[in-house]
Amino acid sequence: MSIYDNLNEPQREAVFHTDGPLLILAGAGSGKTRVLTHRIAYLIEERGVSPWNILAITFTNKAAGEMRQRVDNLVGYGAESIWVSTFHSACVRILRRFIDRLGYDNRFTIYDTDDQKTLIKEVCRQTDIDTKKFKERMLLSVISSAKNEMILPDEFELNAGGDFAQQKIARAYREYEARLKANNALDFDDLLVKTVQLLDTQPDIRENYQERFRYIMVDEYQDTNTVQFKLVSLLAGKYRNLCVVGDDDQSIYKFRGANIRNILDFEKEYPDAKVIKLEQNYRSTENILNAANSVIRNNRGRKDKTLWTANGTGEKICLRQFDTAYDEADFIASDVSDEVREGAAYKDHAVLYRTNAQSRILEEKFVAMNIPYKIVGGINFYARREIKDILAYLKTIDNGRDDLAVRRIINVPKRGIGQTTINRIQESASQRGIGFYEALMAPGLIPGVGRSASKLDSFAALIEYFKGQAQRESLTDLITEIIEKTAYIENLDADDPEDAQARIENIDELVSKAAAYEEDCADRGETGTLGGFLEEVALVADIDSLDENQDYVVLMTLHSAKGLEFSHVYLAGMEDGLFPGYMAITADDREELEEERRLCYVGITRAEEKLTLTCARRRMVRGETQFNRMSRFVMEIPAEILDTGTFRAEKDVEPPARDTYRNAREAFRTRPFAGSYPGKKADENNAFSALQKGSQLAAKPEGGLSYGVGDRVRHVKFGEGTVLDIREGGRDYEVTVEFDGAGTRKMFAMFAKLAKV
């Protein structure tokens, strides 16, 4: 029996089509990883392609690891020659060899988000940029977006023209890039940008990699941005054996620069491309897929496809609406506990939500009910203070040009080297055109350091000692010696006794990570290096911390959940204004709303057997009580596959009555232009007003106000709405307004400054 006999017909067609451009439209759960790995095996075994000539590229370490394992199992001998990698890891490998052509040292440092924030603060300080007007986060976001579009400082400055604000940003961008290069450092966007620059400007290197990678496969192609598209195009430019796999319905990373046009316009870029659709889903039940299909077909900017399954009908989709977010969280926690008592495992359950802020109430309920859980997307392990300190030592030992790393540890633990001395070292280094570490190596040449010179000498001698040890010791021994020689743990105990134990455990975990890295290298017949370790930890993503063998409930945002699957999925906060978000509703932007709908589709298709949708009539957001309608995405799901009745009789839960839901859904379906709320009358988009009004409306205007109950008013932020209630509250009136796009809000009249329209 052939290994290809277990593939369905479209999957076999995708595996056997090996020459020329190929677009595989792979719906959620349709076995795309199986297709890619079998295609690699077919190229080697049946077409005689050398493993050396194959590149398989994806987005996360988790996905790359899974693909690597499957390829090894299928191919056997020679599999190690295949590049199975994330975009960023592949670029690092290329840059480690050739970045000197761009004027960098090959031992460059990779800056994480915290490093970038520190650097942009320095840039703003040096260039007199007012951070009240130009927030550091905004500057980094604009710079990142520019890099994703391959817009470098010269072009950005040219595009700024006479716009003062854009000129300021251009100046910050230019200085930020100059600082990175001076520190021999790259940020994550640079890993892609510099690789494209290298391939674009160095014909011999481009030719080398085009010959090396004659067959290229790209997973999750819908998530690629402009610079990734350019990278793939350059690598595949000679042989054009480019296979891209993706699902435009799962394109949810526009905020990171993903360009959905890359997959939608693939056939325009490659007119001779073969297109194959994978529509059979192996993950979910029929009801879950019917819900997903019903939601996503409301999008116009998509390629037509419909998921189907042979898994059976399955349970109906459970829908529950509660009075408050606390009731919602209580229901989810209780339901998980009940299912575990009936034999399910905690790890079978995942709670997905639109915003990180929603996790707090869920955490409280889980803790109260002793439910083990893990939040994916919280504080990254490598962003913790003690871990960044140890890594800064390692970065300084590996790359003395990284000024940020040197300055972080020069007085950690405390050595009596104050900020004034640090500033004088920096000034001297800048005046002499050298790096911070190089300047402190000769403290006698730094004006004004005085008695601190001996302390600088001691610090430099310590780093030089560690550099020597790095050539002789294992990585784990080096980290252990750094901790001992600096008395780091003793200082933790002295400075922060309450948190010291937790921080020590984190340091122990870092040592374990280093040991595991060295073991992995030994298994591959390689020698672990300090630079290799720093590279590996720099490329770790939040999702890589998820251990699927541990028995805990997973809490995560919908964006973090893509690529995962769980037996029972809860989609919490299914409310207009929360999901879809307020901005997607009020901006009157079809593309924004369609991106939110794709996110809903991703959430639904994470479920294998059970899907529960929950929402709350009122929820506290940023200290303000919001009254929200049930999400329009819920309204797009057929009523006949929804279970809106009492789920467990013993629970004190009051779900929305079935006839109320159906009446509201019918109102939603029949109103004009169902896909767009902004600008519609209140009675057209008030699907659940009967459930949400807390009092009878008065019939006459209240004294002292220019408007009354029933009047139309305008708010500077929320737009137009209808006054539902006015109550006297001491020195001010409390006004309840149902806004056309922002839902129901309570506010004091003095601050709301509502204007009658």
pLDDT (tens digit per residue) in 673-696: 333 333 333 333 333 333 333 322
pLDDT at 379: 57
Angle formed at CA 539 by CA 537 and CA 540, multiple of 5 degrees: 70
**pLDDT at residue 240, as a whole number:** 95
The SS3 assignment for 20 reads coil
pLDDT value for 745: 81
Token duo for residue 492: 């933790």
pLDDT at 536: 83
Mean pLDDT score, 95-116: 92
Give the residue-averaged pLDDT of 117-139. 90
For 209-258, the pLDDT digits (tens) are 999 999 999 999 999 999 999 999 999 999 999 999 999 999 998 888 88
CA distance linking residue 477 with residue 359, whole number of Å: 39
Say what the pLDDT of residue 706 is: 82
- Give the residue-averaged pLDDT of 641-663: 53
Instruction: Tell me which of 378 and 580 has the higher pLDDT.
Output: 580
CA dihedral 580, 585, 589, 591 (to 10 degrees): 10
Q: Band the pLDDT of 648: cuts 50, 70, 90.
A: very low
Q: Which residue has the higher pLDDT, 731 or 503?
A: 503
The more confidently predicted of residues 19 and 696 is 19
Please indicate whether residue 556 or residue 400 has the higher confidence score (pLDDT): 556
- Looking at residue 685, what is its pLDDT? 36
Percent of the chain with pLDDT over 70: 89
Contact 443, 449 (CB under 8 A): yes
Highest mean pLDDT among 114-123, 284-293, 516-525: 284-293
Which carries the bigger pLDDT value, residue 704 or residue 597? 597
Please, which pLDDT band fits residue 729 given cuts at 50, 70 and 90? low
Dihedral sign, CA of 387, 392, 397, 402? positive
Q: CB of 136 within 8 A of CB of 117? A: yes
The string of DSSP letters for 708-739 reads -TT-EEEETTTEEEEEEEEEEETTEEEEEEEE
Model pLDDT, residue 667 = 45
Report whether pLDDT(715) > 60.
Answer: yes
628 or 292, higher pLDDT: 292
Q: State both tokens at 48.
A: 């005689």
Residue 650: pLDDT band (50, 70, 90) is very low
- Angle, to 10 degrees, between the axis of helix 385-398 and the axis of helix 488-495? 150
Dig out the tokens for 187 from the structure.
Answer: 């940020």
pLDDT (tens digit, 9 = 90+) per residue, 141-191?
999 999 999 999 999 999 988 888 899 999 999 999 999 999 999 999 999
The per-residue pLDDT of the chain, averaged, comes to 85
Q: Average pLDDT for residues 259-287, to the nearest whole number?
A: 94
Interatomic CA distance for residues 689 and 269, integer angstroms: 49
* pLDDT at residue 202 tops 60: yes
Residue 272: strand, helix, or coil: coil
Inform me whether the pLDDT recorded for 700 exceeds 60: no
Is the Cα dihedral 530, 532, 535, 541 positive or negative?
Answer: negative
The pLDDT of residue 322 is above 90: yes
Element (H, E) at 557: strand 553-557
Give 669 or 113, the one with higher predicted confidence.
Answer: 113
pTM (2 d.p.): 0.75
Q: What pLDDT is stored for residue 60 in this prediction?
A: 81
Q: Ranked by mean pLDDT, which of 483-492, 634-643, 702-711 comes out on top?
A: 634-643
What gap in Å lies between CA 409 and CA 483, rounded to an integer?
12
pLDDT bin (cut points 50, 70, 90) of residue 283 is very high
User: Residue 43: enclosing H or E segment and its boundaries?
Assistant: helix 32-45
Q: What secondary structure does DSSP assign to 740-754, as a single string? A: TTTEEEEEEHHHH--
| pLDDT over 90, % of the chain | 51
Q: Which two tokens stand for residue 749?
A: 């009249």
pLDDT in tens, 509-530: 888 888 888 888 888 788 888 9
Calculate mean pLDDT across residues 430-435: 86
pLDDT band at 546 (very low <50, low <70, confident <90, very high): low
Mean pLDDT of 196-215: 96
Taking CA 62 as the corner, what is the angle to CA 58 and CA 65, rounded to the nearest 5 degrees?
Answer: 80
- On the question of pLDDT at 18 being above 70, the answer is yes
What's the rounded Cα separation, in Å, for the pair 292 and 306?
A: 9
* pLDDT over threshold 80, residue 672: no
- Give the model confidence (pLDDT) of 444-491 as tens digits: 888 888 888 889 999 999 999 999 999 888 999 999 999 999 999 888
Contact status, residue 315 vs residue 567, Cβ threshold 8 Å: no
What's the rounded mean pLDDT across residues 398-421? Answer: 89
Range name among 506-520, 548-562, 639-653 with the lowest pLDDT average: 639-653
Cα 601 to Cα 359: distance, rounded to the nearest angstrom = 21
List, by residue number, the catalytic residues: 32-33, 219-220, 250, 606
The Cβ of residue 411 has, within 10 Å, a number of other Cβ atoms equal to 16
Residue 199 has pLDDT above 90, yes or no: yes
* Interatomic CA distance for residues 746 and 749, integer angstroms: 9
pLDDT of residue 539: 79
Residues pairing with 500 in the sheet: none
Confidence of residue 731 (pLDDT cuts 50, 70, 90): low
